A = this chain, B = another copy of it.
Amino acid sequence: MADNRPIGVFDSGLGGLTVVKALQSLLPSESIMYLGDTARVPYGNKSKKLIESYSTEITAFLSGKGCKVIVVACNTASSQAMGVLQDAFSIPVIGVIEPGVSMAITTSKNGHIGVIGTVATIESNAYETALKNQNENVIVLNQPCPLFVPLVEEGWTTGDVPKLVADTYLKGMNADSVDTIILGCTHYPLLKEIIQSAANNGTTLIDSAEAVAMEVKRVLSKNDLIAENKSTGPLDCYVTDVPLRFEGLARQFLGSNIEHVSTVSIH
């Protein structure tokens, strides 16, 4: 039987809209409810305790709105809060880490896998732990890239500055013959070209947004939660604050305009 309840997606800010874009592309009939915690963005420099608390509040909000599954479209929250969320909620909670990890393991030929993300994501070791759990022989190179998010938000996704920054960040991975790099942050798909040009020839970039969309499809099918086939499912968007440059940023991540945005108070 079809289940037309929405898929709940959240991120600390608007970057998670890259995951919404991937979901819309793979599962066009699904309704999506997105929450961007723009009043408290970024999570990347906050403590585990605070990130767990914020993630629980948001999941309770989306679950209370009738979502059938929750996608944690935020690498920081996925790396810090999956345990408490899966314990506290009965609906499926899907993070962005495991799907990207599985894709990287099957993609890499030499087993040298790079992970780039925020400081919090990298320092959590969540990607390295998940990679080693799937294959203890892989060699993992971690690199925090804290300038990538502000570069994307500044709109500097091409040109000398992002190229020089990417060259600096990827130096170690290139020296170590990494052949697969996980883009461990929802903002990074917008820097794909620059990152590809800074990486060694032949390096494959793993886009977590695409990987998580495939995982959501698998979970919905397995649990008989797929929506009925119709033209296009609606997107309801909530933010906890209307940030500056909101419309431009949203369009940048989603690839289209957001029609309905509501501001909500979460805590």
- Residues in A lying within 8 Å of B, measured CB to CB: 38-41, 45-47, 50, 119-120, 123, 146-147, 149-151, 153-154, 156, 160-161, 164-165, 168, 241-245, 267
- Chain B positions within 8 Å of A153 at CB level: 45, 146
A150 to B147, CA, bound (A): 6
By a CB distance below 8 angstroms, the chain B residues around A151 are: 147
The residue that A45 contacts in the complex, of B41, B120, B161, with Cβ under 8 A, is B41
Contacts of A47 in B (CB 8 A): 241-244
Q: Which of A40, A47, A119 has the most CB of B within 10 A?
A: A47
Which residue on chain B has the smallest CB distance to residue A163?
B164
- In the complex, which of the residues B123, B168, B267 contacts A161, with contact meaning CB atoms closer than 8 Å? B168
A160: chain B residues at CB < 8 Å are 164
- The answer to whether A161 touches B150 (Cβ under 8 A) is no
Bound-state Cα–Cα, A40 to B37, Å: 11
Contact of A119 among B40, B164, B241, B244 (CB under 8 A): B244
Most chain B CB atoms below 10 A, which of A149, A241, A244:
A244
- Least CB separation from A149: chain B residue: B150
With A and B bound together, what is the CA distance between A154 and B145 in angstroms? Answer: 9
Q: With A and B bound together, what is the CA distance between A217 and B73 in angstroms?
A: 49
Closest to A41 in B: B45
In the A-B complex, list the 4 residue pairs whose CB atoms are closest, starting with the nearest. A150-B150, A45-B243, A146-B154, A50-B241
Q: How many angstroms from the CA of A153 to the CA of B38 in the assembled complex?
A: 21
Question: In the assembly, what is the distance between CA of A55 and CA of B257, in Å?
Answer: 33
Which of B120, B149, B243 is close to A46, meaning CB atoms less than 8 Å apart? B243
